[in-house]
Structure 1
């Protein structure tokens, strides 16, 4: 019997396959290792393959599409309601397959290598920014413990630290001054690395015509524009701008029942970095 929809629970080494016919009858249940997955897929006639959005999903999407299959990626929150009984690889693959067959299911927009490159650039930069924020908070706490207060701002810390380290502070011993100086050197190094990432993002922005069109919107700069292109590509997954806004989380939360409609504040669903 021909496989119509194939759900794959992907992992690092073990992959669970669950295939059904057009009528929903189970025609394939198989557990395969990573090295033999593509050999198994090559023997299956082109069909719809559903996988869960996770690490490596876009890589497998490209690999599977090379064999003529239509690959759809589903968000885990839409798969969970279809998991029957206990959670295991077999039930997960079955749930992915069932979710993909729903008529109104929403799927994750596919990503090209170029989009993943931009996303990698943003994630690496954000990691450095988080490290810098934590570092400045630690330095501020050390100084505050000795009666030296710095305003809550990266700019204020950048301006105040050289004066504090070069001045005469009675509570700042020589050992404490050396330790904080080392942390300040790390702070400057993180600043330099973040500026280098900003320059890379600027180059990507200038080379991308879609990014420049998005940046025409008031309040949108190179970082938001490139992050948007990395997340949605050409936007073909969305029917109109309202659907994109809902995907970003720019819609009010509802708590309605019957004729009583209650709209609350803007929800925090979607990707927070994309909401400028």
Structure 2
């Protein structure tokens, strides 16, 4: 979109801040807008290039503005932060977004509602798993106060805790023992909630071609497949598999000066949840594969195990991108060739 008005929007819960320069008068406009009247401001305007931070609610507003014919560019908060050099307030943030949207840079893909719905399932499942872990650790800590040290592992906990509760019931008030037993029984309810969410993910997997396609890749299970498709958005927004791997944070961090570049550990940019799933998938392949392949075997001889795992996760991330971007099925022995 050429010669269009650039608009910076700092979104919030109730009051949005809008910053732009009027092309006719040259006036710098930086004013607040109520949430209820935000879309009305853009209804009768000529197509604009609208910049927003990729934060809570940004994808919803981006979809609405795109329907009106505007071009929306979502940007990472750290990219926008570089343009705010003074006070931190709504007006300054909107101006920083206005400056950032006019710079060349990788935009965050706008997610569809269905993709965000799947991510919502992942976030709720992740929250339940964390709460379940907290519950288990809390039980272990409380029982340790009475000299009952539990073995590691959920299965051993379930096996030992009835006997432990029976022993401490002889020494402690019934109200304490009954509460501990309720906390233990509550773990089964959390297990059922997690399982129910996973069943709903499997139903979505059967209907989505992209999820089914990358599920054929070794090391890609239900969680990784559904999370990857939902978070990537449009795979064609990335120029290559390497760009996607860099977006996930699976490439080395670089520092240097004077033409000398130093490589460090992975950058850890992008979504931590997706990167964790990719690395766990690679670890599963290395642990369970009977024939990991010549590339992995050679790397194992010269690099530490964790480095090999991350390198394999990087390679698998590129494979996922290729399957989604080119809309083709996974082929184990496929060799990519650059076009002439």
> Within 5 A, what are the aligned runs for 1:59-208?
59-103=60-104, 105-165=105-165, 167-169=166-168, 173-175=172-174, 176-208=176-208
Structure 1 runs (4+) greater than 4 angstroms displaced: 169-172
Describe the superposition over 1:128-164 as per-residue Cα deviations: whole angstroms up to 9, x where unpaired: 1111000000000111112212233333323332343
SS of 1:262's equivalent in the other structure is strand
Show structure 2 runs of 5+ residues with no match. 279-340
Normalising by structure 2, report the TM-score.
Answer: 0.75
- 1:19 paired to 2:20: yes
For residue 228 of structure 1, what is the aligned residue in structure 2?
Answer: 228
- CA drift at 1:170: 7.5
SS of 2:40's equivalent in the other structure is helix
Distance 2:99 2:211 in 1: 37
- CA drift at 1:108: 0.9
Distance 1:234 1:22 in 2: 33
For residue 215 of structure 2, what is the aligned residue in structure 1?
Answer: 215
Distance 1:192 1:172 in 2: 33
Distance 1:214 1:159, change over 3 A: farther
Q: How many residues align?
A: 272
Normalising by structure 1, report the TM-score.
Answer: 0.91
Distance 1:26 1:75, change over 3 A: farther
- CA drift at 1:3: 5.3
Deviates more, 1:175-184 or 1:259-268: 259-268
- CA drift at 1:266: 2.1
Is 1:7–1:49's contact at 8 Å kept on the other side of the alignment? yes
- CA drift at 1:32: 1.6
Describe the superposition over 1:76-109 as per-residue Cα deviations: whole angstroms up to 9, x where unpaired: 1000111142122111111101101012x12111
- CA drift at 1:41: 0.9
- CA drift at 1:34: 1.3
RMSD: 2.1
Distance 1:70 1:172 in 2: 69
